[in-house]
A and B are shown apart, each in its own frame.
Chain A
Amino acid sequence: MSPGGYAGKWLDIDLTNGKIDDIKFPNKMLEQYFGGRGMATKILWDRLGAKWAGLNAYSPENLLIFATGPMTGIYPGARICVSGKSPASNGVVGSSAATEFAVEIKNAGYDGIIISGKSEKPVYLLVTDDGAELRDATHLWGLDGEKTLIKLNKEITEELQTRHPNVGLWKEPGTMYIGPAGENRVRNACIMTKMCHAAGYGGYGGLMGSKNLKAVAAKSRGKFPEVDAPETVKLLWDKAHKELMKVTRFRRWGTGWLGYGAGADTSSEPVRNWQEEWHDEASMGVNRYEDRYWVKKKWTDFNCTLGCMKVSCIKSGRWKGDITDVPDYELQAYCGTNLGIFDAGDNVHISTLMDKLGHSGINGPNTLGYAAELYQRGILTEEDIGFKLEWGDTEAFDKLAHMMAYREGIGDILAEGTYRAALKIAEMKGLDPSETLKYAIQIKGIEIGAHGTRSDKDYTHDMNYAASVQGGDHTSVVTDGYSDMSGALFFDSAVYCTFTSRGPSQQLQFDFAKAVTGFPITIESWRRVNGPRIITLQKALLLLGGPDATWEPLKDDDNPERFYDPLPTGPYKGEVTDRERVDTKIQAYFDTLGWDERGIPKKETLDKLDISDVEPLMAKLRR
């Protein structure tokens, strides 16, 4: 019998031959890796570990994994975790998105989906109570996110209505899909859901596109799996909810208050490709969004009692018809200030455009901003791009985003993501790579989230990104190799939302996990055993990397050069990320996790964590 919270089986699908199997994992594996990021990492290691370094992320052999966790949909804030060998980092990223797709597959009886191979023609996956099937997606290929979603909702609902006409009306399915950026293998493209939600980090949109898989969808009439201690879960849910009701700032504004605040207050907001991190533009105030664009101030995903989402719509002017959410802080920054755009409407437009094209709203415009800085510095010219690319020119960035998604002109190079684009542009211009890489704000192939470290006043500090196995991912920064094991790594594996993890205590969340699964799970066990096991496995795969990019141990565990340049403006002018502190804390982090001074996991650590089979590959790296 499956432990509480688990549906009990996974779908294992080979797109090359259309084979669809149900598989089960042993309870011990569930207890050790839990779900989401943990399970995905273990599955990737087991199936691809031995050939990892030589495996191109776009090879049909790579896996695309959609994983729920035992707490998904039961703890407030349902999400799914997407993973695979990352086309961006060549490691493993747990990339999570809020979506009812997670709830629908779980109720249909599946904890996750493993997809290998490559379909000859575009297809989408449909999961129902009758099982899984691959359906033709030729008519959807090429459509933007919005149109894909509209068509899928209609098509699937009608299909289910035809198959089961007697039971009443069928509600829309849960869906995840890619836009043109994913189809064209843009290396930092995302997998979208609900039009404006995304599994953004890791470049899994491109991986999905490489498999000719346009979408995954699910609709079930089933019920959630039973939990181990229902009364305790109910009690703890009430407690969690009461704590979440106190998080009034999120309920009122989402993270939308930061578009002004992270600039004016903490001076940690990317401005013009991070040349500055300060601005004091009231035009980016959350009230400007609320007063003019928010048509809905309360919007949530399944079982979320926080409600940080707001729906924005532009009803007049040149961007009429654009619809997105808040935009949240990350997109206010990356689709706004980082491009020198300080107008709420233009920001809503670029955010909507990212959603439609299927660019990650963080990673995509990081690359756009990077291109604009190269233009500013004369490294890229009007001739290279085809037009002028001035800061704040919304139409120019709109055009370049399209070129990236469709790989036209310079867009073909930029579609490789900031790191690889930097190398290609250096080659094209006959420059030393250091001349272009110094403006690339990324770590190990993953562009950095919109929270700087220089002012030291945000939640991100010194080595938080540099030491992370997920590079620039702002949702899983590391701190001391101890407390973060029971933080981001845990809720990415249990799979629920980062925002519903803030408010209720960690103790409550672990009591919840225990009550759902019945596992003897504690904060301590996650900090000392389960967490380090998953992170160490992620680290091992990241170190193996390859074949198109590998990371040098320790040397590449570093911030972009710019983070060590003094802030040029604002209340924290002159502040820098302290290199000595970065170095010291990275060593302390490695030491805590039982990795050597270059960050390679030690043999005794692997033995202790019950992953001794990783040792032969690590031994080679140590030489």
Chain B
Amino acid sequence: MWPEASRVRVFMPFPGVEVPHLCAQCQDYPCIEACPVDALSSDPDTGAVIVDREACISCGACIRACPGTVPILHPKDNKATICDLCGGEPKCVEVCTEAGYNALTIVNEGPSIHRKLYSRNPIETAKDLAVNLFGEKGEEVIE
């Protein structure tokens, strides 16, 4: 197990306020645009961002370009790491089903301008979620 190597991370800046943080597949792919060595591309079938790990120079331009600061440099080899939807058969969905939770299912929404809205800094998202959960008190719990 390697929690910080995961392409899906869950932030919890305040107990109970959990924010899954992963690639939302923006329609205009600012990360791909930003890569100085063309190491990033999009999968035509799934829309996922694919990283050419050989080509990646670990500059972090994709992280800075992402509206949600989603990509990470892998703790092992320092290469850009972004959810690739496991080629269309996501393991997270598989394991959630196997485990009997059935919280995750695959949906095919197609491209949408709204996707980019979901690529957001997790602390900002958490601030909204906190108010949703705790009402007025939620305004105070994340600095």
Q: Which A residues are within 8 Å of any B CB, using their own CB? A: 73-74, 103, 107, 146, 149-151, 153-154, 157, 165-169, 171-172, 194-196, 220-224, 241, 245, 295-296, 299, 302-303, 305, 311, 313, 315, 320-321, 323
Contacts and interface: CB of A to CB of B under 8 A. Distances in A.
Contacts of A220: 4
B107 interface: no
A169 B122 contact: yes
B11 A295 contact: no
Given A223-B2, A223-B5, A295-B133, A169 B72 contact: yes
A314 to B, nearest CB: 9
B136 A320 contact: yes
Contacts of A153: 13-14, 143
A165 B63 CA distance: 10
Contacts of A157: 13
B110 interface: no
B142 interface: yes
Interface of B: 1-5, 9, 11-16, 21, 58, 60, 63, 69-73, 75, 78, 99-100, 121-122, 133-137, 140-143
Contacts of B141: 146, 150, 323
B120 to A, nearest CB: 11
Contacts of B133: 295-296, 311, 313
A195 B142 CA distance: 13
Contacts of B73: 166-168
Contact of B15 (A165, A196, A241): A196
Nearest to B72: A168
Contact of A224 (B2, B12, B70): B2
Nearest to B71: A168
Nearest to B98: A238
A311 B15 contact: yes
A245 B134 contact: no
A103 B11 contact: no
B60 A166 contact: yes
B133 to A, nearest CB: 5
B134 A323 contact: yes
Contact of B134 (A295, A302, A305): A295
A150 B14 contact: yes
A166 B63 CA distance: 8
A85 to B, nearest CB: 30
A107 B133 CA distance: 31
B21 A323 contact: no
A320 B3 CA distance: 36
A245 B98 CA distance: 12
Nearest to A172: B13
Contact of A311 (B2, B16, B72): B16
A299 to B, nearest CB: 6
A299 B63 CA distance: 30
Contacts of B5: 221, 223
A491 to B, nearest CB: 19
B3 A167 contact: no
B134 A299 contact: no
Contacts of A166: 58, 60, 63, 73
Contacts of B4: 107, 171, 220-222
Given A150-B141, A150-B142, A313-B135, A195 B15 contact: yes
